[in-house]
Structure formats: C-alpha cells, structure tokens
Amino acid sequence: MPTTSVIVTCKNRLHHLQQTLRWLLRQSDAEIIVVDYGCTQGTAQWIRGNHPGVRVVRVSDDPVFSLARARNIGAAQAQGRMLLFSDADMIIRADMGAWIARNVLENCFYQATIPMHPSMCGTVVCARHDFERTQGYDEAYRGWGWEDTDLYQRFMLAGLRRAPFPIDFLLPIEHDDSERQIGADKGGMPTKEQAMRCGELYTTIKHDLMRMTGLVPEINVRLRIMSEVRDGIAELYASTDPQLQKTINFSWANTRFQPPVTLTQQLIYTLARSLPT
C-alpha cells in the first residue's frame, strides 16, 4: 500500500488539472485520486486516456460543487496511511511524497510554512486515522470558503498539533474569482467577504455547541445552523438599515437531568449591521 494518498477535487477545472496532474504523478510512494464532481468537460475521460495510473472517482448526483463532500468521498477511497489534500490549481513542484514518508507523524497535521499564499491554505497533510476520528470535512459547507479552517480548528480541539511542511513544494496557478464557487448559482454566498463571515459565524456557533454539549451536532442540526447563518448574513448585507439586527438561537434539553427536573439550555446570537462612521 502507498504511504500517501493524494486527493484532488475537480469541478470544471480540467485546464488546471492538465497543468498540475503531471507534477502530482512524480510523487514517491503515493497514489493519486481525482474526484470528478459533476465536471462537464470530459475530465474523467481525459484522465483515463492520458494518465491511466490515476484513480478517478465520479460524482454525478449533485449539481452544485461541495468541496467538503468531494474531499470526504476521495478520502473514503484512499489506501494510504497519510492523506494529502490539494486543489486542481496547485502545482506540487518536488517530491513531497518522499518528504511525507520520512517526516509526517500521526497526531499532527501539516500546512505550508508561513507566510503562505491564500491559495495554499487548503493544502494539508494528515494521518488518515486522525481524519476519520475527527469526522472529516463538514458537509454543511457549500460554495466557497472556510471548510478547511473548520477542519483545522477541529483537529486542534481533538489534540492534533499543527506542524509545517516546506512552502517551496507549492506553486498555485493564479486565476480570478470567476473560477471559484462564489455566487448563488454555485451554491455559495454572493461575495467572498460574505462567504468568509458566513463560515466564521457558522463555525463559532457549531464549536460553541460542541463545547456546551460535548457532542458534534448531527448533520441535520448543522444544516439548520448553516441555513440560518446564511440567511442572516445575506439579510444584513442587503439592508441599508443601520439599526437592523438578526437573532439566531438554539435550544436543547440537557439529558443529564431527568424528570421531574428538566433543564433546557439555549445559545443566542445577535447579528447587527455595522456601518462605517
């Protein structure tokens, strides 16, 4: 079995894969998995015709790209002890596979040394065991942004240590935001700024619930949180009312208390629009 499984996701980024895949295939002691998430450019056919050693996983049941789900699907197919998640537009310039086999430990996750280009933030190395025990990427995220930050925060909550790999391994292909999953038609928020605020607030609420209950909220609860957060952020940004506020609250029964004594706990978040003075 290979030491490392390199997992790359693609939604209509064939032109990027045509530049980056040949570099990925130079990795030692590694398998390459590409998740074709509803591509309409013949991506799977091109890979099989030009790089038959690459494993292709096709997803055809979702019209909107979900990076979190795509990476989880790729990880479920992985055979390596270590996972390297990267993007279709990321060139790995040297033999990172050999570096991983020599240096990477369980109970750590690895990112590029700081300062890093923003496009490098989603490239991460971790042990497959650690990824699975922290439940992988949160599939409540849709569209662009923050699913990687959420994963890293949960890694640290689970006791994993952040460690660096050499930044010289990575070279991102520059492109504009039109190729990112930004906009309602792509399942995301209208702008990068709104997507960042949405991801930040959702993660804050979810982690507060985890600390209060000691449990990771079920996916139906997480989807409800994400829906209310997205609606609240969108309403605040669309309004010019400086007094507008939006309240989000969550209640749950504390199961440690049994009848005739019951305890219900609640978290309340109030969002307010802040206009420049």
Last residue of a domain, one of 123, 153, 177: 177
Question: Are 132 and 88 in a shared domain?
Answer: yes
29: region left, alpha or beta (phi > 0 left; psi from -120 to 50 alpha) = left
- DSSP strand E in 159-244: where? 161-165, 170-172
Last residue of a domain, one of 149, 177, 205: 177
**Number of structural domains found in the chain:** 2
Give the domain extent around 250: 189-272
Question: Are 133 and 205 in a shared domain?
Answer: no
Please give the structure tokens belonging to residue 226.
């994400």
Residue 183 in any domain: the answer is no
Question: Are 9 and 85 in a shared domain?
Answer: yes
Question: Are 120 and 251 in a shared domain?
Answer: no
Q: Is 149 exposed, middle or buried (0-12, 13-18, 19+ CB in 10 A)?
A: middle
Question: Are 209 and 158 in a shared domain?
Answer: no
Q: Are 10 and 85 in contact (CB under 8 A)?
A: no
Q: Domain holding 58: CATH number?
A: 3.90.550.10
Q: What is the mean pLDDT of the chain?
A: 89
Question: Global pTM?
Answer: 0.89
Q: Domain holding 212: CATH number?
A: 3.90.640
Question: Are 12 and 84 in a shared domain?
Answer: yes
Average pLDDT over residues 51-64: 92
Question: Are 75 and 151 in a shared domain?
Answer: yes
Question: Are 168 and 221 in a shared domain?
Answer: no
Residue 98 in any domain: the answer is yes
| Cβ-based neighbours of 238, under 8 Å, separated by 6 or more | none
Question: Are 244 and 157 in a shared domain?
Answer: no
Question: Please, what is the angle between helix 14-24 and helix 43-50, to 10°?
Answer: 30
The per-residue pLDDT for range 113-132, each reduced to its tens digit, is 988 888 899 999 999 999 99
The per-residue pLDDT for range 191-231, each reduced to its tens digit, is 888 888 899 999 999 989 888 888 888 999 999 999 999 99
Cα distance between residue 30 and residue 98, in whole Å: 9
Whether residue 242 has pLDDT greater than 90: no
Question: Are 64 and 141 in a shared domain?
Answer: yes
Question: Are 163 and 27 in a shared domain?
Answer: yes
Average pLDDT over residues 106-116: 91
Question: Are 32 and 151 in a shared domain?
Answer: yes
Whether residue 275 has pLDDT greater than 70: no
Neighbours of 142 (CB within 10 A): 21
